[in-house]
Amino acid sequence: MNPWTLVRANRGVAAVLGLLVLSACLLVAAVPKVTQSAYDEALRDTVAGSEPSRTDLVVVSQRRSGSGRPLTPEALLEAERSFRAALPAELRPVVTPLGTGGSHYGVHKDEVPIISVDGQARSYQYLDLGWLSDTGRRVRYVAGRPPGPPGKLDGGPLFEVALARQAAEKMRLSVGATVLLGDTGKLAARVSGLFEPLDPASRYWLHNTAVRQVMEISKPMADHPDWHATGLVSDASLPELGRLYRNTDYRWVIGVDGPAVTTLRAPGLVEAVSAFRGAVPVVLDGPSPGSLETALDALLTEHLTRLRVAESLLLLFVGGLLAVALGVIALAVRLLAERMSHGLALIRARGASLARIAATATATASAVAAPGAVAGYALSYAVPGPVTPIVHLGPLAVVAATALFAAGHAVTHRWPRFDRRDDVVASRPSPRRITAEASVVVLALAGTYLLRSRGLTTQAGERGSDPFLLLVPAGLTLAVALVVVRCYPYPLRLAARLAVRLRPAVPFLGLALAARARPASTLSALILLPALAVAVFGAVISSGLTVTQTTSAWQQVGARARLDSALPVVPETVERIRRVPGVRAVVTATRTATMMRTDMQRVTLLAVDVPSYRAVLRDGPLVLPDAPVLISPDLENRGTIELVGPRPRTLTPGGVVTGLSRVYGGGPLVLAPPDGSPANTVFVDGEGLDAKLLLAAANLPGAQVTTLDGVLEDIAETPFTATIERAFTVATIALAGYALAAVLVALVTGGAERAGALTHLRALGLSQGQARRLTVLEISPMIVLTAVAGLLLGLALPAALGPGVDLSAYTGGLAVEVYPADLTAPVLLTVGLAAAAMLGAFAYAAFGRGRPLGTALRGLRGEE
Amino acid sequence: MTVSRPTGPDAPDISDVSVPSSLAELESEAVRHRPAFGENAHILCDNLVRIYKTEGVEVVALQGLDLLIDAGELVAIVGASGSGKSTLLNVLSGLDVPTAGVARVAGVDLLSMAARDRLRYRREVVGFVWQQTARNLLPYLTAAENVELPMRLAGARRRGRAGELLELLGVGYCARRRPGEMSGGEQQRVAVAVALANSPQVLLADEPTGELDSETSEEVFAALRAANRELGVTAVIVTHDVLVSEQVDRTVGIRDGRTSSETLRRASSDGRIVAEEYAVLDRVGRLQLPRDFMNELNMERRVRLQLERDHIGVWPEGAEDGTGRADGEAGGAESGT
């Protein structure tokens, strides 16, 4: 039989099925693309946010002896080419050619102290000598000329050097200055010119900050930092520089192209970097072997760890979503099969083989599913993102599942007979089915135990995700759904027993109809329940994530805004800050690093007026006990605290404050009343605080302002976190839609039988209003029971799986409170869905009222 | 039941009959002289039993039914609702399997069929028509396509066959119409054409005129009779319709899952149709007395039988001896041999 004829004959149901397949295919193809592009965005952020010296591949050779060959630019270029030749294939597409991006090479001789400049002695100053490839294109001379070939001074080499203008000014070195340098032998330099870097923000100059500016380096125990400037020598001076091998580094930088580093390439790149690390000493062997300095592999590994956590969570949601989508598709296929059942039963009776029936049903379902899948697949291309195999395979799997569901229904035509009674209450499940259901329940419980003890995401980085554990939440949901379906008749019987004593007939009739509904009607419970559970779970996790992110931000800032200054904060400054728009209250504090007398443990002392500070913290999650002296939990049970330092203090703690110590790195913290020391910290309370305005008002050099909103944005707006949040939202909306679709499809599936029963009852005197109430009552036990079970499961899932899901990567390091802090959203979600489902039932009942009774009864007789 | 043997001058003389000496001889004697039960019948049901089990409750729909129908016969089956008519038809059409007994149609044993044989049986041996006009035809196919469907399912599509059949049954003009565009009578005649599509040997119809008015019923019955007479198909029609049951050669009544009566019709010498109703005697000698006969004579639980020379007399319990003719004639029923 031509499947298109059957599709045309059942176009309404076919359209519903087509839409469901379309949405499922769109989700299954688009979500991986979106998440994959979010992962890539996160990786790009990571690479772009890191120092080029960490992300680029830098081959460093520290010279320990003079090389036999003279050092020339050509020799360095030759070495550069040999490194590139040794690059593993995976790395080649992501590195930039020489002269572009960060790729270049150079020589740097450091720790060259200045003895005198033009005869005047200098101290704490160094003039390091360096050579960089490609300088001609990277600098602009603002004074003098480029350096020329080396000369001689007092029998030692004299290098002509060019300095960055900024560095020369700071070091007070002018063009023509002759600098005597201290080394093993005699060494001198003459400044030939000053330059300014072209595009100082480029990766080339980020690699060579020491050439661009003076580096201040504080040596241990020194009271004054050393200043290091670098003078660039000419190509002609390179052989001479090569002979000064002491403290000389040769560096070849192979730049990495940030956008080319994608998540899909990451695992291969980690291995390739490791392989290259091994290859470098082989390429550059001899007395001064090379080594690879890069943190690219570490960055990628860290990214992959976070990725696995995100993937595990998304797999939970998208997997749940897909399962629910397939469930609704199965219901729609069932509806289509029922609509085709008369025709199929007839052709079966007229001599069609079972294989033919299966082929017809499968072809019909596929004829509907295939265009839907193609449309969903095509629509997914409107979503930006890399195309992974799942984008192609997902829609195929959905179509295959649809076809399989349809083929499965052919079994009902094994015997071409009709009129078999099936009751929810009376039918007894086969031992095989009970065993299978019990196995699912036991497996789900065992899986939950394993998940709690082993963790789903905590060890994902080390061990990778465990597919069995990933299936646990879905399994647990299925187990609860099975238990609900199995137990569904018992409260129904009880309710019917109570209802029979009532005077109105509608409650009893409604419950009786519900009890006598076919088992198929409970199938929608198997979809409604996971949909609700996953949606509620998502809402709980999402709200938990938001709350924890806020808590984490409060713990990192310690107020709505905090100003830290190295210079004392005077009352005038405080007054200026107080006048900044949005500021409500200002509290000053003195933060001092000190030590405990007993064991010399380092302690941060925050001298602040606790009652005033408590007022600043009143809106946040940080709670200060009512006592003048407070300590962090790690100092608990230590009795009186004696602090040493310029102002020794002895303090008796009056309470413990948790979380606040994260403001100062998480070490031991003591809050004590002010002791008159000048303030260096300002805690600000207010609304819409702007860091720039506060900083401008303070007008303190070197001061830093941290705002709660800024920190929260940093935590919450990372691509990973945003993806997880977006996935929660999409999953919740989609699940709500599917749950509604499941209820409506279930209603339509039982529509003919319900209409038959109602028509008989209307002939006996049932009014239109009673008929509508009856329909709602018939569907409500299942909806109410499923909604309650779904809500409870959704609320229990985070607690059951909580220890196994580590979301701290998304909260700035703080473990997520997975217990539902606010029940409003989940309860509203459940009640809304249940109400929408019942409204659907009511509308369905109202829709059928226009049929005259006589016509309806005649139609009914025809159907029997 | 008490049974008396006849005595006196009218009793048959059995002294010259040779008596078999052993059981084996007795058996071979029986086989030699009598054909096996229903050996030449086109449709044979012997002691047919069908028990349904619904949630632990057993419903015996057929309780040892016997039925013989010869090839080319047009037989109506009548009976009250729930008497087992439709179950019998489902068994005969291969849609249901009997629990016990013998069911054979056109030489095919319906109890021992494999799934493949059952499929072939439905394709080639039987065709059937249901009561509901809508249930016989696929609503989205035209009449011609509906007729072609069984042929295509059997893999033997014969061009022109659908048109021929529709013409034969008087609905050739409906070939391009869909069921929704035809009257109930036209739909049922197309349904008969569908049932005949693969040239079956047996046509089974379950109340084919149940939903039709008398005029349309006449047309549909005419179609069935045309199939029977012109194509030589054995036709079995389950019906409540007197118009149908009175026009067939033989009407079989079913009561409580057993055949209870048969009405045979023949044309008398003056051209009138004469109907004679018979009670059915099964192979072990059971027969069902008509309920109104029993009520009339207050027959309950036990009756007395009297074997006469050419018939058996049946008397209610407590009536006078059957030899007292006056009493016996007045208060008994007699069964001719």
Dihedral angle, C-alpha B155, B157, B158, B159, nearest 10 °? -160
User: Does A411 lie at the interface with B, CB-CB under 8 angstroms?
Assistant: no
CA diameter of chain A: 125
Nearest by CB to B95, which of A347, A354, A416? A416
- Please check whether residue A61 is in contact with residue A250, taking contact to mean a CB–CB distance below 8 angstroms: yes
User: Does A342 lie at the interface with B, CB-CB under 8 angstroms?
Assistant: yes
Instruction: Specify the DSSP element, H or E, that contains A798.
Output: helix A768-801
The arrangement of strands across the sheet holding B57-69 comes to B57-69, B43-54, B100-105, B108-109
User: Does B123 lie at the interface with A, CB-CB under 8 angstroms?
Assistant: yes
Residue partners of B8: CB distance under 8 A and separation at least 6: none
Give the distance from residue A1's alpha carbon to the nearest chain B alpha carbon, in angstroms. Answer: 8
* Mean pLDDT, residues A590-606 taken together: 83
User: Does B95 lie at the interface with A, CB-CB under 8 angstroms?
Assistant: yes
Alpha helices in A62-132 (DSSP H): 73-85
User: Does A416 lie at the interface with B, CB-CB under 8 angstroms?
Assistant: yes
pLDDT value of residue A464: 55
User: Does B59 lie at the interface with A, CB-CB under 8 angstroms?
Assistant: no
Percent residues over pLDDT 70 in chain A: 88
Give the distance from residue A781's alpha carbon to the nearest chain B alpha carbon, in angstroms. Answer: 25
- Among candidates B104, B78, B62, B68, which has minimal Cα distance to B258? B62
pLDDT value of residue A402: 93
Nearest by CB to B96, which of A6, A417, A427? A417
pLDDT value of residue B337: 43
pLDDT value of residue A18: 93
For A261-302, write each residue's pLDDT tens digit: 888 888 889 999 999 888 888 777 666 677 888 888 888 888
Own/partner pairs for A264-269, CB < 8 Å, 24+ apart? Answer: A264/A36, A264/A386, A264/A388, A265/A90, A265/A93, A265/A94, A266/A43, A266/A300, A266/A303, A266/A304, A266/A307, A267/A304, A268/A90, A269/A90, A269/A91, A269/A94, A269/A296, A269/A297, A269/A300
- Chain B window 221-250: which residues touch A at a Cβ cutoff of 8 Å? none
Residue A28 has pLDDT above 90, yes or no: no
Residues recorded for chain B: 337
Place of tokens 């007070």: A172
User: Helix count (H) and strand count (E) of chain B?
Assistant: 11, 15
Are the Cβ atoms of A347 and B149 closer than 8 angstroms?
A: yes
Residues of chain A positioned with their CB less than 8 A from the CB of B138: 343, 346-347
- Please check whether residue A335 is in contact with residue A745, taking contact to mean a CB–CB distance below 8 angstroms: yes
For A60-93, write each residue's pLDDT tens digit: 888 766 556 778 888 888 888 888 888 899 888 8
For A721-731, write each residue's pLDDT tens digit: 777 777 777 87
- Please check whether residue A744 is in contact with residue A838, taking contact to mean a CB–CB distance below 8 angstroms: no
User: Does A355 lie at the interface with B, CB-CB under 8 angstroms?
Assistant: no
Residues of chain B positioned with their CB less than 8 A from the CB of A416: 95
Are the Cβ atoms of B198 and A352 closer than 8 angstroms?
A: no
Are the Cβ atoms of B132 and A347 closer than 8 angstroms?
A: no
Lowest mean pLDDT among A7-16, A153-162, A284-293, A563-572: A284-293
- The backbone torsions φ and ψ at residue B319, rounded to the nearest 5 degrees and listed phi first, read -75, 165
The arrangement of strands across the sheet holding B273-279 comes to B126-129, B202-206, B234-238, B74-79, B250-255, B258-267, B273-279
Residues of chain B positioned with their CB less than 8 A from the CB of A11: none
ipTM (interface predicted TM): 0.72
- CA–CA distance, A361 with A257 (Å, rounded to integer): 53
Calculate the CA A614 to chain-centre distance: 34
Q: What is the mean pLDDT of chain A?
A: 81
Residues of chain A positioned with their CB less than 8 A from the CB of B96: 417
CA distances from B254 to B61, B144, B290 (A): 11, 36, 12
Are the Cβ atoms of B140 and A417 closer than 8 angstroms?
A: no
Helix, strand or coil, per DSSP, at residue A58:
strand
pLDDT value of residue A862: 42
Amino acid at A201: A
User: Chain B residue with minimal CA distance to A3?
Assistant: B140
User: Does A224 lie at the interface with B, CB-CB under 8 angstroms?
Assistant: no
User: Chain B residue with minimal CA distance to A420?
Assistant: B54
Give the distance from residue A20's alpha carbon to the nearest chain B alpha carbon, in angstroms. Answer: 25
DSSP string, A199-265: STTSHHHHHTHHHHSPEEEPPTT-SS-EEEEEEEPPGGGHHHHHH--TTEEEEEEE-B-GGG--TTT
Beta strands A561-569; A679-686: pairing state: antiparallel
pLDDT band at A422 (very low <50, low <70, confident <90, very high): very low
Nearest by CB to B150, which of A351, A417, A427? A351
Place of tokens 């609503």: B139
User: Does B132 lie at the interface with A, CB-CB under 8 angstroms?
Assistant: yes
Helix, strand or coil, per DSSP, at residue B3:
strand
For A642-691, write each residue's pLDDT tens digit: 888 777 888 888 888 887 777 777 788 888 888 888 888 899 998 888 88
User: Does B136 lie at the interface with A, CB-CB under 8 angstroms?
Assistant: yes
User: Does B96 lie at the interface with A, CB-CB under 8 angstroms?
Assistant: yes
Are the Cβ atoms of A417 and B153 closer than 8 angstroms?
A: no
Within 13 Å, how many C-alpha atoms sit on residue A542's CB side? Answer: 23
Give the distance from residue A14's alpha carbon to the nearest chain B alpha carbon, in angstroms. Answer: 15
Are the Cβ atoms of A351 and B141 closer than 8 angstroms?
A: no
* Mean pLDDT, residues A405-413 taken together: 83
- Please check whether residue B176 is in contact with residue B109, taking contact to mean a CB–CB distance below 8 angstroms: no
User: Does A347 lie at the interface with B, CB-CB under 8 angstroms?
Assistant: yes
User: Does B82 lie at the interface with A, CB-CB under 8 angstroms?
Assistant: no
Are the Cβ atoms of B141 and A415 closer than 8 angstroms?
A: no
- CA–CA distance, B32 with B40 (Å, rounded to integer): 16
Are the Cβ atoms of A9 and B132 closer than 8 angstroms?
A: no
Residues of chain B positioned with their CB less than 8 A from the CB of A352: 153
- CA–CA distance, A744 with A409 (Å, rounded to integer): 20
Percent residues over pLDDT 90 in chain A: 9
Are the Cβ atoms of A349 and B93 closer than 8 angstroms?
A: yes
- Chain A window 771-830: which residues touch B at a Cβ cutoff of 8 Å? none
A contact test, residue of B91, B113, B135 with most A CBs within 10 A: B135
For A515-548, write each residue's pLDDT tens digit: 766 655 666 767 778 778 877 877 777 777 788 8
Residue A442 has pLDDT above 90, yes or no: yes
User: Does A343 lie at the interface with B, CB-CB under 8 angstroms?
Assistant: yes
For A481-517, write each residue's pLDDT tens digit: 888 888 877 778 788 888 888 877 788 888 877 776 6
Give the distance from residue B125's alpha carbon to the nearest chain A alpha carbon, in angstroms. Answer: 11
Within 13 Å, how many C-alpha atoms sit on residue A727's CB side? Answer: 31
Nearest by CB to A8, which of B128, B140, B194? B140
Beta strands A583-596; A679-686: pairing state: antiparallel
DSSP string, A405-425: HHHHHGGGGSS--------TT
Are the Cβ atoms of B139 and A9 closer than 8 angstroms?
A: yes
Nearest by CB to B140, which of A5, A421, A423? A5
Residue A418 has pLDDT above 50, yes or no: no
Give the distance from residue B126's alpha carbon to the nearest chain A alpha carbon, in angstroms. Answer: 9
pLDDT value of residue B9: 47
B contact test, residue of A350, A417, A420, A424 with most B CBs within 10 A: A350
Greater pLDDT, A232 or A529: A232
- Please check whether residue A129 is in contact with residue A189, taking contact to mean a CB–CB distance below 8 angstroms: yes
10-residue mean pLDDT series, chain B (337 residues): 49 48 68 64 89 73 88 90 85 86 89 85 88 81 89 79 89 90 90 90 88 84 88 89 81 88 84 82 80 85 88 82 45 50
pLDDT band at A186 (very low <50, low <70, confident <90, very high): confident
pLDDT value of residue A789: 87
Tokens of A45: 């952020």
For B60-79, write each residue's pLDDT tens digit: 888 888 888 999 899 999 88
Give the distance from residue B243's alpha carbon to the nearest chain A alpha carbon, in angstroms. Answer: 22
Residue A849 has pLDDT above 80, yes or no: no
Place of tokens 């012997």: B46
Give the distance from residue A428's alpha carbon to the nearest chain B alpha carbon, in angstroms. Answer: 8
Amino acid at B192: V
* Mean pLDDT, residues A741-753 taken together: 75
pLDDT value of residue B97: 84
pLDDT band at A462 (very low <50, low <70, confident <90, very high): low
User: Does A357 lie at the interface with B, CB-CB under 8 angstroms?
Assistant: no
CA distances from A294 to A283, A462, B154 (A): 17, 22, 74
Helix, strand or coil, per DSSP, at residue A775:
helix
For A546-561, write each residue's pLDDT tens digit: 888 888 888 888 888 9
- Among candidates A374, A316, A330, which has minimal Cα distance to A31? A316
Greater pLDDT, A425 or A559: A559
Lowest mean pLDDT among A244-248, A706-710, B74-78: A244-248
Q: How many CB atoms are located within 10 Å of the residue A158 CB?
A: 21
Handedness of CA A727, A732, A738, A741 (dihedral sign): negative
pLDDT value of residue A611: 87
Are the Cβ atoms of A350 and B149 closer than 8 angstroms?
A: yes
For A146-159, write each residue's pLDDT tens digit: 998 888 888 888 89
- Would you put residue B237 in left (φ > 0), alpha (ψ -120 to 50) or beta? beta
Lowest mean pLDDT among A76-85, A198-207, A774-783: A774-783
Give the distance from residue A5's alpha carbon to the nearest chain B alpha carbon, in angstroms. Answer: 7
Residue A400 has pLDDT above 90, yes or no: yes
pLDDT value of residue A420: 45
User: Does A850 lie at the interface with B, CB-CB under 8 angstroms?
Assistant: no
How many Cβ contacts (< 8 angstroms) between chains A and B? 51
User: Does A676 lie at the interface with B, CB-CB under 8 angstroms?
Assistant: no
- Among candidates B293, B290, B316, which has minimal Cα distance to B2? B316
